[in-house]
Amino acid sequence: MKKIADSKKSTAISLAKRRHQLSLRRKGAVYDQTKRIQKTNSVFGIPIIEAPNMLCIYVDDGDIDRFESTIEFLRRIKALKSGEKYYLSFKNTKLIEAAAILLVYSAIEEAIKENDCSLHYIPPDAPHARKLLKSKNIPKLLSNSKIEYFLSKYENLPIISGQSNSYTDEVVDHIKERVFEDELDPEKESIFGSAVTETVDNVDLHAYPESVNGSKPWWLVCSVIDKQLFLAIYDKGVGIPETIRGKQDLLARIRNSLPYFKHRGKISSEMSESEALEILREPGSLSDAESVMLSMMSDVSSTHQDKHGQGSKSIKALVDDNEQGKLWIFSNKGLLVKESAKAGNLIELPSSIDGTLIQWNIKLE
């Protein structure tokens, strides 16, 4: 017993000496409190794709960093190798905006369905962000679970992934019955229904001109915030800058916008109308944002007989009728932002969103 006690005493003395020597070596040492521990980028050899703190593509306040970090996150998802396993981590994500979540959802869906990737979900630490992602079916999508839409059962709609004209009537009915509680006046109901159905119709008609298998996907999100209904629709088509070139009345639209192009210095004020039109009709002469602006003009061709293209007119009517109304149209590297009855603001984006996203809001009365 005495030998055991002596052994323990010797061990204790040895440990005390080591602690004393370590404390002496630490004296005078300077520690960098800002130095971060290097985070691992994999779990058991499975790579981690980390979402940014803020998923947001709105840039009207001049903050381009959020947009760029969100687009970079999307690029990483799109670059995932076919058949491989990955963790998609939202652990540090605190802010998630509606437009951005549509882009993220579509990128995840493409990675799973087209690239056969196996993606594992790491939820946000922030409770509100975790709740939002769950309500939009992100965890279910990442687990590759079957997602079915029983819209009559939802209080708040998840993200709807549709093809061609699927679900549009159900979405309009849901909003009319659940959000407006059947109190939407007939005129506004007609305008709202036209805004949704015509936007989806335009995806079917124009967004995917070279679709081989008939696949024309779109994604829709609907949210109620502070007595405002926000609705956004996204497609991965060729984009407005490409489709506007096929408009029969493109020259007429440009002609009506000549004062804008002169004011911006794109053409000389001394040029004749024919000279100006000759320059502006050249490929590459119009920026993506300018193409979006032209697309929002009412059809000016006298031979235009059908209803297609009037969805933008319905959306503008809803936005103009709302003092807090705001319309966002992203298409490739162009953005048009229009507030209520004000003129639209054009913004050239540093990166493409690879498609078109339209978002608007109307007041709940």
Calpha distance 361→346 (Å, rounded): 19
Confidence of residue 320 (pLDDT cuts 50, 70, 90): confident
Is the pLDDT at 31 greater than 50? The verdict is no
335, 349 Cβ separation under 8 angstroms: yes
What confidence score (pLDDT) does residue 333 get? 97
Task: Tell me the C-alpha distance between 354 and 240, whole Å.
Answer: 11
Residue 282 CB coordination number (10 Å): 8
CA-closest candidate to residue 217, choices 206, 202, 205, 204: 204
Q: Supply the pLDDT for residue 62.
A: 78
Beta 345-348 vs 46-50: how paired, if at all?
Answer: unpaired
288 is written with which tokens?
């993506």
Q: Measured between alpha carbons, how far is 96 from 115 in angstroms, rounded to an integer?
A: 25
Report d(CA 244, CA 252) in Å as an integer.
Answer: 12
Average pLDDT score over residue span 33-59: 77
- Torsion of the alpha carbons at 114, 331, 164 and 149, rounded to the nearest 10: 70
Q: Is the pLDDT higher at 38 or at 146? A: 146
Average pLDDT for residues 28-55, to the nearest whole number? 69
What pLDDT digit, counting tens, does each position of 75-119 carry? 999 999 999 999 999 999 999 999 999 999 999 999 999 899 999
Confidence of residue 192 (pLDDT cuts 50, 70, 90): confident
Residue 284's pLDDT band (cuts 50, 70, 90)? confident
Element (H, E) at 170: helix 168-174
The amino acid present at 205, given as its one-letter code, is: L
> What would the DSSP string read from start to end of 185-217?
-HHHHHHHHHHHHHHHHHIIIII-TT-SS---E
Q: What is the mean pLDDT of the chain?
A: 83
Angle at 202 between CA 199 and CA 207, to 5 degrees: 120
Alpha carbon distance 111, 95 (integer Å)? 23
Cβ neighbors of 42 (< 8 A, separation 6 or more) are 48
**4-13, 62-71, 280-289, 338-347: least confident range:** 4-13
Going by pLDDT thresholds of 50, 70 and 90, the confidence category of residue 16 is: low
pLDDT (average), residues 160-185? 83
Q: What six digits make up the tokens of 359? A: 């978002």
Gap between the Cα atoms of 187 and 133, Å rounded = 34
Q: How far apart are CA 227 and CA 362, in angstroms?
A: 9
The answer to whether residue 325 scores a pLDDT higher than 70 is yes
Tokens 């404390």 locate to 23
Per-residue confidence band for 291, with pLDDT thresholds at 50, 70 and 90? very high
Distance, in Å, from the CA atom of 230 to the CA atom of 326, rounded to the nearest integer, reads 9
